[in-house]
């Protein structure tokens, strides 16, 4: 398993989403849901809209294009969503957020 530094906790304020590069050809969205951090694919599986332009409420991520929603801990669809979201394991150590892949 490889541990990669994604960002600092202060880079993603509570209840916001930011996109970060993992390597040259992969990015992820880091979501701070009430102080808990999650990582997921950067685009909506519906029409490829950037998820960092969406919103987070509790542990639900919403794409604002067509209001598809997902459970952040599992990636399972909620509401109108018809496809799962790819999620990635993250670990917070001190003020650093790491991707474990």
pTM summary value = 0.94
- 62-83, pLDDT tens digit by residue? 999 999 999 999 999 999 999 9
Q: How confident is the model at residue 2 (pLDDT cuts 50, 70, 90)?
A: confident
Rounded to 10 degrees, the C-alpha dihedral 21/24/26/30 comes to -10
Q: What is the CA radius of gyration of the chain?
A: 13
Can you tell me the distance from the alpha carbon of 80 to that of 9, in angstroms, rounded to the nearest whole number? 31
Look up the CATH architecture of domain 3-93.
3-layer Sandwich (2.102)
Is 73 strand, coil or helix?
coil
- 27-37, pLDDT tens digit by residue? 999 999 999 99
């Amino acid at each position: 398993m490889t541990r990669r530094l994604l960002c600092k906790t202060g880079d993603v304020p509570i209840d916001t989403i930011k996109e970060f590069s993992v390597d040259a050809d992969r990015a992820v969205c880091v979501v701070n849901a009430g102080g808990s951090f999650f990582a997921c694919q950067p685009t909506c599986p519906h029409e490829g809209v950037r998820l960092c332009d969406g919103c987070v409420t509790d542990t639900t991520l919403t794409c604002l294009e067509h209001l598809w929603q997902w459970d952040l801990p599992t990636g399972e669809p909620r509401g109108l969503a018809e496809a799962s979201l790819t999620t990635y394991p993250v670990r917070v150590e001190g003020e650093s957020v790491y991707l474990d892949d």
